Amino acid sequence: MTGTMAAPGAQVRTRTPLLEARDVSKYFGAVVALEGVSLSVSAGEVVCLLGDNGAGKSTLIKILSGVFEPDSGVLAVNGETVRFGSPRDALDAGVATVYQDLAVMPLMSVSRNFFLGNEPTIGWGPFKRFDSLTAAVKSKEEMHRIGIEIRDTDQAVGTLSGGERQTLAIARAEHFGARVLILDEPTSALGVKESAIVLRHVIAARNRGLGVIFITHSVQHALPIGDTFTILSRGRHGGTFRRAELDADQLHRLMGGGEEFAELERELATLVETPFGVDDDAAPETAGTPSGS
């Protein structure tokens, strides 16, 4: 897979990466989920992690976010080796993960969602209570900052659109001190305009100096925002490339299944050629719509 492009090690890094995985492997019994994969993200950089279903993307994210520990290989934060025993460890190290479906509670209000797990409190001892006023004011500010205007922060998150929910989750992670954002397929369930909201916000986060790992299988979404692209294929490293090094077609091919996709395209093309209701004589009815009926 890597043979077609320049060697992955070609890029020279001057900054210490915020988060780095070196040569990590993970096995589930006899199954090789991930073998010898490396990935790093620096401040102000969007790293797109691409791969087909089953390529090992989820496993790698779970290692980076502290859900799994790798069987071999190490993680490093700011160049120092770390061990993430739990998602909390990763959060404390400034690594926040936003999962596609598991980001927010649709039935809870915007402000309660925003501060879930990090609730501001007021008072002390048994009278220490949730500071709903601060929560409302701050979450409204944050929502305004990311371009979502809401009437009041008591409204349920379920009333926001899919893109707005993802954006809320991203803004929340950033607000609570994330330096590295891991976004797990944030756009895969969204329409075009909704995706645009999220992508715009990803760029904004990058420009504020965050490191972003953007997981997707959409080349369309990856190409405009990625600084580097790491490809996973069947649990193995399929190469890391800078943006200038490749275009959409190459990226498609590298994602694995490029050959199969080309074949599928040909097969579909021949199927499309066969119009409805026509069997053997194959009357060419492709362009003209029959006038009258």
Partner 1 sequence: MATTPADSSEESAPARLRQVSLIQRLLARPAAGAAIIVIFVWLVFAAISITSNSFVFLGLKGTLSYLDVAAQVGIIGTSVALLMIAGEFDLSVGSLVGFAGIVIGILVVEFNVPIWLAIIISMAATTGLGVINGLIVVRTGLPSFIVTLATLFIIRGMTQAITAEITNITYIPMGRERVAADPIAWMFNWSGGPTGDFKVSIIWWVVMAVIGAYILGRTRFGNWIAGVGGSASAARNVGVPVARVKITLFAFTAFSASLLATIQSMTFFSADVLRGRGIELDAITTAVIGGTILAGGYGSVVGAAIGALALGMARIGIVFASINADWYFASIGTLLLVSVVLNNWIRRRFAGIR
Query: Interface residues with partner 1 (CB under 8 A)?
Result: 87-88, 91, 97, 99, 102-108, 112, 115-119, 121, 128-130, 132, 147-151, 155-156, 158-161, 163, 172, 191, 193-194, 196-197
Instruction: Rank residues 140 and 237 by Cβ distance to partner 1 and give the closer one.
Output: 140
> Which residues touch 290 (CB under 8 Å, ≥6 apart)?
none
Please say which residue, 14 or 151, places its beta carbon nearer to partner 1. 151
39: its two tokens:
């990935």
Q: Give the integer Cα–Cα distance in Å for 56 and 53.
A: 8
**Please, what is the minimum distance in Å from the beta carbon of residue 95 to partner 1?**
12
Compute the least distance from the CB of residue 103 to partner 1, in Å: 6
Q: Which is nearer to partner 1, 128 or 266 (CB)?
A: 128
Nearer to partner 1, 47 or 197 (CB): 197
DSSP annotation of 286 reads: S
Nearer residue to partner 1 within complex by CB, 92 or 263: 92
Query: What residues are paired with 237 via a beta bridge?
Result: 232
Q: CB neighbours (10 Å) of residue 44? A: 16
Who's near 158: CB < 8 A, 6+ residues apart? 106, 107
Report the phi/psi class of residue 257: left, alpha or beta, with left for phi > 0 and alpha for psi in -120 to 50: left
Closest distance between partner 1 and the C-beta of residue 118, in Å?
Answer: 7
| Residue 219 C-beta: closest distance to partner 1, Å | 22
Nearer to partner 1, 2 or 161 (CB): 161
Q: 183 vs 96, 264, 292, CA distance in Å? A: 9, 29, 53
The C-alpha atoms of residue 83 and residue 66 are separated, in whole angstroms, by: 8
Contact at 8 Å (CB) between 226 and 46?
yes
Give min distance, CB of 70 to partner 1, in A.
Answer: 20
Contacts of 42 (CB under 8 A, 6+ apart): 13, 15, 16, 17, 18, 211
Nearest approach, Cβ of residue 218 and partner 1 (Å):
17
